[in-house]
Structure 1
Amino acid sequence: MAAFGRTFPFYTGPKPTFPMDTTSAVIIIIFLTALVTFIVILPGIRGKMRLFWLLRVVTSLFIGAVILAVNFSSEWSVGQVNTNTSYKAFSSSWISADIGLQVGLGGVNITITGTPVQQLNETINYNEEFIWRLGENYAEEYAKALEKGLPDPVLYLAEKFTPRSPCGLHRQYRLAGHYASATLWVAFLCWLLTNVMFSMPVLVYGGHMLLATGIFQLLALLFFSVGTSLTPPCPLRLGTAVLLTHHGPAFWITLITGLLCVLLGLAMGVAHRMQPHRVKAFFNQSVEEDHMLDWSPEEGGVLSPRYRSMADSPEPQDIPLSEAASPEPCCKEEHCGESGCAL
């Protein structure tokens, strides 16, 4: 290291950064491509059904994209502070930087950007991720960060989330992230079933699954909030300031989407009870498609199906036979003896 003329210890160059999370960017691009595809075929739909169809597609794609994106997002709990702090180990040099912390369901992301970026003859712009998802070892990633010689603020924050840290952040955030992620995957499955049922003449069950989609999203928020509040907050002191965390954009957009799904599911059930024909018209379904299934609000509540009984079926009609086929008496009673017809 001394041969390269570097200050001990030797730091590798900062990694190139991307403006946003690459996984979230891929998910957004996929759903935007699907939306553009549906918009291309939109002119083939006639009348006011074009607007109804576009509204359904946009709402459904938005809900699906949010469920997937927040599952991989690192902005469930965020914090940022501008402070003067040490930059390298065994060095008295201090820097002024913006330090950010983003905690997701599968790991933690730490950023440090100098203000200005060029300080101490270096470009101070780091974005480091430490993962604790299934199959990943957080302690090994932290050990590799020590070997690489990352800046002091990054190592300090990453050390707070190690399994052996007295703060206990690793256990509470890891468990909360696992349960919340599993619940969001169930919500995504309910979203898929919702789209399948809305494309079939079982709209009431589609409303059921849409309601379940919202409920599982709200359960994911509950698991994350309860899991991250089991222990008192650990102070994160960086130089002359203290880094405080709060719920991030992923948390709030999940809350909004979950409430939207719950309201739409309830509205679907009420509308199916009050105006079933308008609901079928909104989903471009004719009444003849489900003539064998009669939805009765009187029996079984709002969303209970009832098949027609034999009493509700139309009465059978007696079809008279034609005159040629119906036999006539060969003679009347008073003339039977004269004509000699056989009985």
Structure 2
Amino acid sequence: MAVFGHTFPFYPGPKPVFPVDTTLAVITTIFLTALVTFIIILPGIRGKMRLFWLLRVVTSLFIGAVILAVNFSSEWSVGQVNTNTTYKAFSPRRVSVDVGLQVGLGGVNVTLTGTPVQQLNETIHYNEEFTWRLGESYADEYAEALEKGLPDPVLYLAEKFTPRSPCGLYNQYRLAGHYASAMLWVAFLCWLLANVMLSMPVLVYGGHMLLATGIFQLLALFFFSMATSHTPSCPLHLGTAVLRTYHGPAFWTTLITGLLCVLLGLVMAVAHKMQPQRLKAFFNSNAEDPVLDWSPEEGGLLSPRYRPMAESPEPQDIPLSEASSEACLKEEYLLEPDCAL
């Protein structure tokens, strides 16, 4: 840097920032594709079953998408502040910036945006991620950030979450993230099993798995809250302001979805005891020995209607032709002596 006449650390410029998280974009695209596919075939389902199918599919896809999205989200604990702070190391010049901190289950994301963006003849717009997932080293990523010479606010917040920091944030949030992520993966597995069982005539077990889905989501929130609640007080001073964190959208979305799953599971359990026929009608099935009746009025192959044996038509005697009748009488006449013997 001395060759080029730079007294302070040289910043090559911020890297391009995608407007949204790529992982969340992929998850959203997959579930929206599934929803659009169902909407395309929805007109083939006739009658009231069309509304029931739409409600079931939309609710199920929403729950599955939320479980996956929050597992990869970086907004479990968030904070943002506008402040005047130093921008480069060893430089007294200050800039007006918005500093954001997002803590997820797998790492920390720090954003730095100038107000205005163009200051000191530079574009101040940074979005840096430091992860502690299995197989990745937070300390190595922080060392790389030091080598690149990232702005002071980014390095300051990232340093607070390093393993050697006296704040102890690394161990608390890393442990909380691992346990919460494990619970969410179990909840996702329960969601898959619930969908399989609800598509089969085992509605009560599907309701139990849906209840388990909600319980494991609430357990993820419990582990995250318990681990982070013991975090020692470590004020984050940025210039003249203090950055404070609070539970973010991912936390509250998980809470709402978990309570929804628990409520639906309890409703299905109560309905199975009190109104089993209505529950079976909602899921288009019958617990008795069914006879499939592919009625075009009810949606054809896409929406089979089940009819119990009690409602099945009774067997009818089919009249035989004259030739068949004479043959039967002749056979009975020839067999009579044998019967007499």
Category of TM-score, reference length = shorter chain: 0.7 to 0.9
Name the larger-Rg structure: 1
Structure 2 counterpart of 1:176: 176
CA shift at 1:277, angstroms?
1.1
Any gaps of 5 or more consecutive residues in structure 2? 292-331
Structure 2 counterpart of 1:247: 247
Greater helix percent: which structure? 2
CA shift at 1:20, angstroms?
1.8
Once the two structures are superposed, the pairs formed by residues 26-41 of structure 1 within 5 Å of their partners are 26-41=26-41
Check whether the contact 1:108–1:129 (CA below 8 A) recurs between aligned residues. Answer: yes
Q: Distance in 2 between matches of 1:231 and 1:279?
A: 46
Return 156-165 or 21-30, whichever deviates more.
Answer: 21-30
Q: Distance in 2 between matches of 1:289 and 1:110?
A: 60
String of CA shifts for 1:69-95, please: whole Å, max 9, x gaps.
000000000000000000000111100
String of CA shifts for 1:211-234, please: whole Å, max 9, x gaps.
000000000000000001123231
Greater RCO, CA 8 A, separation 6+: 2
Q: Distance in 1 between matches of 2:236 and 2:23?
A: 28
Structure 1 counterpart of 2:158: 158
CA shift at 1:2, angstroms?
3.8
String of CA shifts for 1:201-253, please: whole Å, max 9, x gaps.
00000000000000000000000000011232310000000000000000000
Structure 1 counterpart of 2:54: 54
Check whether the contact 1:217–1:258 (CA below 8 A) recurs between aligned residues. Answer: yes
Structure 1 counterpart of 2:217: 217
Letter in 2 for 1:23: T
Check whether the contact 2:104–2:177 (CA below 8 A) recurs between aligned residues. Answer: yes
Q: Distance in 1 between matches of 2:53 and 2:7?
A: 64
Structure 1 counterpart of 2:281: 281
Once the two structures are superposed, the pairs formed by residues 58-73 of structure 1 within 5 Å of their partners are 58-73=58-73
Structure 1 counterpart of 2:136: 136
Structure 1 counterpart of 2:234: 234
Q: Distance in 2 between matches of 1:36 and 1:218?
A: 30
Q: Distance in 2 between matches of 1:202 and 1:262?
A: 18
Letter in 1 for 2:178: H
Letter in 2 for 1:120: L
Residue 259 (structure 1) aligned with residue 259 (structure 2): yes
Once the two structures are superposed, the pairs formed by residues 1-343 of structure 1 within 5 Å of their partners are 1-289=1-289
Across the aligned residues of Structure 1 and Structure 2, the Cα RMSD in angstroms comes to 1.8
Could you state the TM-score of these two structures normalised by the residue count of structure 2?
A: 0.84
CA shift at 1:6, angstroms?
4.0
Q: Distance in 2 between matches of 1:238 and 1:290?
A: 69
String of CA shifts for 1:292-328, please: whole Å, max 9, x gaps.
xxxxxxxxxxxxxxxxxxxxxxxxxxxxxxxx79x99
Partner-residue secondary structure (3-state), 2:229 = coil
Check whether the contact 2:168–2:232 (CA below 8 A) recurs between aligned residues. Answer: no
CA shift at 1:11, angstroms?
1.0
Partner-residue secondary structure (3-state), 2:237 = strand
Any gaps of 5 or more consecutive residues in structure 1? 292-323, 329-340
CA shift at 1:7, angstroms?
4.5
Q: Against the structure 1 CA distance between its residues 157 and 289, is the aligned structure 2 distance closer, same or farther, given a 3 Å change threshold?
A: farther
Q: Against the structure 1 CA distance between its residues 199 and 216, is the aligned structure 2 distance closer, same or farther, given a 3 Å change threshold?
A: same
Partner-residue secondary structure (3-state), 2:163 = coil
String of CA shifts for 1:76-124, please: whole Å, max 9, x gaps.
0000000000000011110000000000000000000000000000000
Partner-residue secondary structure (3-state), 2:74 = coil
CA shift at 1:8, angstroms?
1.6
Letter in 2 for 1:84: N
Structure 1 counterpart of 2:308: none
